[in-house]
Structure 1
């Protein structure tokens, strides 16, 4: 896969006649594939060898090393541990690779021990090892101070057992365009090309993805880069021609055949991987490895000229770009907040997502979005929906391949509260750990999800979301809406009540609303908390879609912590606790007068 993601060829045609073969023969054949970067084939050979020689330290080491070169790096640990236990001198870099594997498995104390041991033995590796140690310390600190957002896998309707990434979601949140290398008809053996897909959402369910258009999807790799706010202009990466940026327009119900951007963007001797056009259409942010950059991939900006074409590109400079990779830029609607991914700024490991604010004529020092948005694997392609209550991004974290995730925020315009991460000077005596919620459901018997492997403690519900500020002033009225079990979709009665609230808020500009989500006590507490936030956000989204300024809305989710009545029975108990409470509050200024 181009850019961030690592492509592994399919496991085709690796036939190993294991009978009678020595470990050395398996090692030799596997090494041939490994050197050619045919990691999947190498892994197949090494695993065949381990069936015959399960205790061979070299085969275990090479298997673990190969896993580190593939998605799903956490699988490397048991093989590297077996190699080290059998023969600690199996390879001079065994301590470094074990450090990487422990880092992937979030076992930060062990990772730190092995990285430090490698640095003692190999002074020349100090810079690289120090960077890894910095990641380990930062990751541990970040996971002990999670940010106020709920992270959910968008589910199997979108994600497959192959790579999905670069989600582009329309401003209303109901259309997703994304990239996947899932199998296609006529694909040559051993090669999966990326194509662009589209899915629609109705009743909170995504439809089966379809290829976006035969005008756009070609034989080679093509990937979605950005979508205009009106959903009619699509920026595309085409591998054909060396890797360039193209543009397609939606005309009626059909996408036009993409055309390349000019040579100020697509430099003939370089590789352009992703691009984003600002809401006003006046600036194009894109990534390139052209000569004169600061790292292997930098972010550039080009401004629209009076001729209607893109002008000379400018490097964003050392505040944003590093000696590593910066990719997948996206700019918020205000034009003053840049989101991007990087492995050069301090992060948890792999590519992390950062944001930078434009102030006083320059981009400020990037801020890591923290955990659970970032992980120890690659995280990238961050984009907000129009109401700024949700965001979508892609990550390698859980499944061994890239998948698409969504974030839900408590407050509009809150983007992501800067994580209050303790100084990462040292690790605690015992690692804590936390984990991301995957496809939450609740209010029913649910299997308790496993916490991170580094902890025996279940994740706390308090990790998911911080309450937004309550408008100051007298509460004028409070209305209740009720939901069916496991549901966060409004019914007709709920929508009718909200229409009354919309009319009132439009007529009374000095009134704001506090929206509080609640669940019954059935199921997992963490998942109930996530469900309560989704319920509250479904109400907030309805109000903003009807024209209410999102800055007049505050959202909180309490899970089952504040029952209205006892949960002992369904009809007069749990049914009443599955609710939204909407308070209408007259806003009062700090001096005590009603706001104008």
Structure 2
């Protein structure tokens, strides 16, 4: 139940000022002599409510309905109003606490030593910043009283949060915040959304009926947590959510905390050994049972409530309160290479504070993280922050601002690869349950108005519409990442293939990451942060490999590319384009970015298929003279063959051919077509 664990730690023993108060009405026979049955029922509700309220730990959610029932008979009892307010402060509906607390104080100014502090909390949670500051100051304990230093520090922090709220609300973030709807949300608590990079799949945690086991937690009275999934239909709308099934969900609590950008792996939270995270893999359409990530991540009795994959799938960011080297206090954010053997690294004091951090999310651009923190310039509880890796360090965390952040806890925010849509859980007026999942649409900076002297077109309107000169467009910032997705199929049968997809940095000749297409659907998705010349290689035993090239300069804006890849069987006559072979302009000199692709051919011919015979052919567009083009293409093909023979491939198994502009694959009437025609091909001559 870690997603709902953030409860208000209210301070006891605060000194307060006395004021004139109205009379509190007690639950006695004298007061309700004309309604003895009602009094009897109310006293029963009070007793039942107190049993929950005074339990260890207090069960505010269970106590509240009993107190509200008793209040229907007597709305003017100071202590009951105080307890109702206290329960609301520890519920998803914290903002409802204020009128009850204010009434309790009006009825009896000494109803509880914490009343002024709690009124301050109620005002704070309703974003009434200045009034909250005044109440907090009134609740400040006198120096020398019991626990005065700790209480003063707590109140001073709350005051700083209100001061942050004042500033952030005045400079609100332009965004729409919309409930994602009844196909996803239920009358119960729904929270912790995670998405694929292209927003096609949404996983979330829910305490609704219909889960695995469909039992209720005896401690809270609510249904056990389960993980549910919704996918986007062809109309762009979320389809009815379905339970992820017994391989992932158990009869106890199961919560999702992370989903890989391609949706092929997920991380779940399991309440064992203090609270650990596990990983599950998607095999076709079925999720495998989650497996622990081991002691390098889950330490002893430490608590690991959230995690996130980096785009390469190897680096894992996670939250832990473990006492490892570098811990800053409470829950910190760490990162680790889950395929390596090294220790986890603390993200440092720029990100982690003496307070708790949680809800880590790594954007598909590979350099931006979003996380929640009780520190920094939070306006109350956990706020969501953004930080970017720049020049070898994390930038100062930036509060996402009002109304995305509120005075209450704002945790577990995720963002689409485009940077336009965020998802999180919140309790709002249009919520169907105690918490619902919402989508945030970021609007970017406001377009400045341009005045015009034209006459009104609709003079009868209160705000006449005028013809205006168009202001320059205000660009909406998008993420610097490209999403490449599609399906891998057999070129002949058209059936999906579970192929291996390698991501290579051509400049550094390094393998960045390895992914796979789905065994049942053939679907794949790769996130490509800008600033890299990428080679993408799709492999499957018995097939010719397929290569693609994406040279994304630094700062390249978001784009989504759909590329279906039909793999060809390794048969005589089959041929593929070597998209990661590069030459200097108008020359036959191989560039260093070609090394990875060339070495791939060497491995294919020396290790995988030691008797394979191939033709390497060069092709050009139709710019220039045909004789020159034929000669250039021949020299380029020979350069590739020379490289391969230099690496030990027998010359008898290699043929080079230059076809100039005689075999175009696209019209030469456009630059795009000409680029496709300038290519190097690989053709199987014999096996």
TM-score tier (shorter): 0.5 to 0.7
For the pair 1:116 / 2:150, whether they are aligned, the reply is no
Higher RCO (CA 8 Å, separation ≥ 6 residues): 1
- CA distance 1:23–1:344, change in 2 (3 Å): farther
For the pair 1:215 / 2:236, whether they are aligned, the reply is no
TM-score w.r.t. the length of structure 1 is 0.64
Q: 2:68 is matched with which residue?
A: 47
Structure with higher Rg: it is: 2
Shift of 1:339: 0.7
Q: 1:404 is matched with which residue?
A: 437
Determine if contact 2:43/2:70 at 8 Å carries over to the other structure: no
Q: What whole-Å deviation, never above 9, does each CA across 1:397-432 have from its counterpart, x for those lacking one?
A: 544733222122346xxxxx89xxxxxxxxxxxxxx
CA distance in 1, matches of 2:340, 2:562: 37
TM-score w.r.t. the length of structure 2 is 0.56
Shift of 1:162: 2.0
- CA distance 1:152–1:26, change in 2 (3 Å): closer
Q: What whole-Å deviation, never above 9, does each CA across 1:317-360 have from its counterpart, x for those lacking one?
A: 22212222211111122322111011122212121100112223
For the pair 1:468 / 2:474, whether they are aligned, the reply is yes
Determine if contact 1:233/1:250 at 8 Å carries over to the other structure: yes
**What does 1:295-306 align with in structure 2 at a 5 Å threshold?**
295-304=329-338
CA distance in 1, matches of 2:411, 2:164: 18
Q: Alpha carbon RMSD of aligned pairs, Å?
A: 3.0
1:177 pairs with one of 198, 203, 208: 203
For the pair 1:268 / 2:300, whether they are aligned, the reply is yes
Q: 2:51 is matched with which residue?
A: 32
Determine if contact 1:187/1:193 at 8 Å carries over to the other structure: yes
Number of residue pairs aligned between Structure 1 and Structure 2 = 415
2:178 pairs with one of 131, 134, 152: 152
- CA distance 1:83–1:214, change in 2 (3 Å): same
CA distance in 1, matches of 2:246, 2:341: 27
- CA distance 1:410–1:546, change in 2 (3 Å): farther
Residue aligned with 1:393, SS = strand
- CA distance 1:198–1:54, change in 2 (3 Å): same
**What does 1:246-261 align with in structure 2 at a 5 Å threshold?**
246-261=278-293
CA distance in 2, matches of 1:546, 1:25: 64
- CA distance 1:120–1:267, change in 2 (3 Å): closer
For the pair 1:104 / 2:130, whether they are aligned, the reply is no
Shift of 1:154: 1.4
Q: What whole-Å deviation, never above 9, does each CA across 1:120-148 have from its counterpart, x for those lacking one?
A: 66772221111111112221221221123
For the pair 1:61 / 2:87, whether they are aligned, the reply is no
Q: 1:277 is matched with which residue?
A: 309
Shift of 1:243: 1.7
Q: 2:633 is matched with which residue?
A: none
Q: 1:450 is matched with which residue?
A: none
Q: 2:360 is matched with which residue?
A: 329
For the pair 1:354 / 2:360, whether they are aligned, the reply is no
Q: 1:565 is matched with which residue?
A: none
- Unmatched segments (≥5 aa) in structure 1: 9-16, 412-416, 419-465, 472-539, 548-596
CA distance in 2, matches of 1:20, 1:404: 41
- CA distance 1:247–1:325, change in 2 (3 Å): same
- CA distance 1:18–1:139, change in 2 (3 Å): farther
Q: 1:187 is matched with which residue?
A: 215
Residue aligned with 1:215, SS = coil
Shift of 1:545: 4.8
- Unmatched segments (≥5 aa) in structure 2: 9-35, 447-471, 478-556, 564-687
Determine if contact 1:276/1:329 at 8 Å carries over to the other structure: yes
CA distance in 2, matches of 1:89, 1:230: 58
For the pair 1:81 / 2:99, whether they are aligned, the reply is no
CA distance in 2, matches of 1:393, 1:228: 17
CA distance in 2, matches of 1:261, 1:276: 13
CA distance in 2, matches of 1:162, 1:315: 36
Shift of 1:176: 0.8
Q: What whole-Å deviation, never above 9, does each CA across 1:445-486 have from its counterpart, x for those lacking one?
A: xxxxxxxxxxxxxxxxxxxxx963499xxxxxxxxxxxxxxx
Residue aligned with 2:152, SS = helix
Q: 1:92 is matched with which residue?
A: 113
